[in-house]
Amino acid sequence: MTALTMTAQPGQDTGLRPVPWRRMAWVTWRQHRAALAGVAILLSGCAVALGITGLRMQHAYASLVRSRCPLTGALTTSRCGRLEDAYYHAGYPLTGNVLLATVALSAIPVLIGMFVAAPLLAREYEAGTLRFAWTQAAGRTRWVVAKLALLGAALTAASSAFGALVSWWLAQADPLAGASRWQPAQFGLSAVTFAAWTVAAFAAGTFAGALIRRTVPAMAATGAFVAALTAITYQKLDTLLVSAGPVIRRTMLLNLPVYQPGSPPVTFLLGQAVTVSAPAGSWPLRSWIAGPRGQIIGSLPTRVLALDAQAENHWLASNHLGLWTAYQPPGRFWLFQSVEGATGLLLAVILSAATVWLVRRRAA
C-alpha cells in the first residue's frame, strides 16, 4: 500500500480559495473537445464550400461590372448574358438556391443545440456521473458556470466568424438571386445575429438537458424549440423589425441599372425594364403613386410599365402625380442587427441563468 505523501491539514477551512477557472477550462476542454471538434468540422466544411463558390462569384461579378452589363438575366446569347451565365455557374448549385442555402445554414444552431448542448447535462444525469462531478471541491456552481461560459464563448466566436463569412458569400450571390441581406432568412445569418442565435440555441439545449435529464428527449425538445424559434424569428420578428419607422421620400423611376461594385443598387424590379429607385443597400418596403393633394392613387407594381423610365417620369409629372417609396436606409442595417442580436443574447443569458438555478437547486 502506498502511503499518502502529503499530510492532512484539518481545520483549515477559513478562506478557502476556489478552484481556479483555468483548471475548470481544462476540464471543460477535455470533456467537450469532441463536440467542439464536431462543430469545427461542420462549420469549416460549410466554410470551404462557401469560400470557393464565393470567390468564384466575386470574380464573375467583377467581370459583369467591368462590362457594364445591365441587371437582367436570361439573355444568354449576348456577351453580358454569357457573363451572367458564368456568374450563375460560379456558385452552382448554391447560387441557384440561395433560399435553400440560407435555410440549411439556419439549421446549424439547431444542430449545435441538439448535439452539443442538450447532452451536456442530460448525459451526466443519465450516466450518474454528476454524483462524481458535483462532489468534487470545485462545487457544482463553478462546474456548470465554467462549462456554460467557456463553451458559450467558443461557440460565439466560431459562429460570429462563420456568420461574417456567410454575409460575404450572400453579398456575392444576392445580385443574381435578386435577394437582399435584409430578407428574413438572410437577416439572421450575419456575424451578429447568427452568433446570437447560436448561443441562444446552446443555452436552450443545456437548459432542456438540465430540465429533462434524459439525452434523447432533451435533444428532441431542443430541436423543436430552436426550430420554432428560428421560424418565428423569420416569420414575425424580422418582418416587424425591418418595417419599423421607414424613411418615406419622393422618388423617380429609373432605367434598369447596370451591375455595380458593392451592394446591388436595385430593389423593386418592375416588369422587365424599370425600377423604382432607393439608395443602394437599402430595403424598400412599398411604393405608391400619390395625387397632388397626397391622396394615394395606386400602389406599384400594379401599373403596367412598358414605357421607358424617362417618358414615364414625364407622364407622372404632367399629371401632377408623385411616386413615393418607403424604405429602410442602409445605415439602419446594423442597428436592426444589434436589436435582433441583443434579443438572442438576452434569451441565452436568461436560459443560462435558469440552467444554473436548476443545477444549484436540484439533486443529482
Partner 1 sequence: MNIIETSGLGKRYGGTWALRECTLAIPAGHVAALVGPNGAGKTTLLNLAVGLAAPTAGTVTVLGGRPAGSPAALDGIAFVAQDTPLYKNLSAADMLHLTRNLNRRFDPGYAEARLAELGIPRNRKAGKLSGGQQAQLALTLALARRPRLLVLDEPMAMLDPLARHDFMASVMAAVADDGVSVVLSSHVLAELERVADYLILVSRGSIQVAGEVDDLLACHRVLTGPATEAGRYAERLRVVHTRRGEAQAHLLVRTNGTDRPVPPGWEAHPVGLEELVLAYLREPGAAALPGPARARHTETTEVTT
CA contacts within 13 A on the Cβ side of 334: 3
Produce one character per residue of 37-61: b if its CB has 16 or more CB atoms within 10 Å, e if not: eebeebbeebbeebeebbebbbebb
3-class secondary-structure state, position 56: helix
Interactions with partner 1, residue window 55-114 (CB under 8 A): none
Using the contact rule CB under 8 A, the part of the chain among 5-13, 187-195, 292-300, 332-340 near partner 1 is 5-13
Q: Taking CB under 8 A as the rule, which mask of x and - marks residues 131-170 in contact with partner 1? A: xxxxxxxxx---x---------------------------
Task: Establish if 33 lies at the interface with partner 1 (CB under 8 A).
Answer: no
HSE at residue 218, side-chain half, CA atoms within 13 A, is: 29
Looking at the chain, list the stretches that DSSP marks H as alpha helix, in order from N- to C-terminal side: 21-66, 79-90, 98-112, 118-127, 130-133, 140-177, 184-187, 193-212, 215-232, 238-242, 309-318, 333-361
Q: Which is nearer to partner 1, 13 or 295 (by Cβ)?
A: 13
> Can residue 357 be called a binding residue for partner 1 (CB under 8 A)?
no
Nearest approach, Cβ of residue 148 and partner 1 (Å): 16
Check: CB of residue 98 under 8 Å from CB of residue 170: yes
**Nearest distance, CB of residue 139 and partner 1, angstroms:** 6
Pairing outcome for strands 253-255 and 283-290: unpaired
Number of residues that bind partner 1 (CB under 8 A): 36
Identity (one letter) of the amino acid at 84?
A: E
Residue nearer to partner 1 on the CB measure, 209 or 344: 209
129 near partner 1, rule: CB under 8 A = yes
Residue 136 beta carbon to partner 1: minimum distance, rounded to whole angstroms: 4
Instruction: Give the shortest CB-156-to-partner 1 separation in angstroms.
Output: 24
Q: What is the three-class DSSP state of 251?
A: strand
Minimum Å gap between C-beta 151 and partner 1 is 16
| Footprint on this chain of partner 1 (rule: CB under 8 A) | 1-6, 8, 10, 13, 16-19, 23-24, 26-27, 30-31, 127-139, 143, 361, 363-364
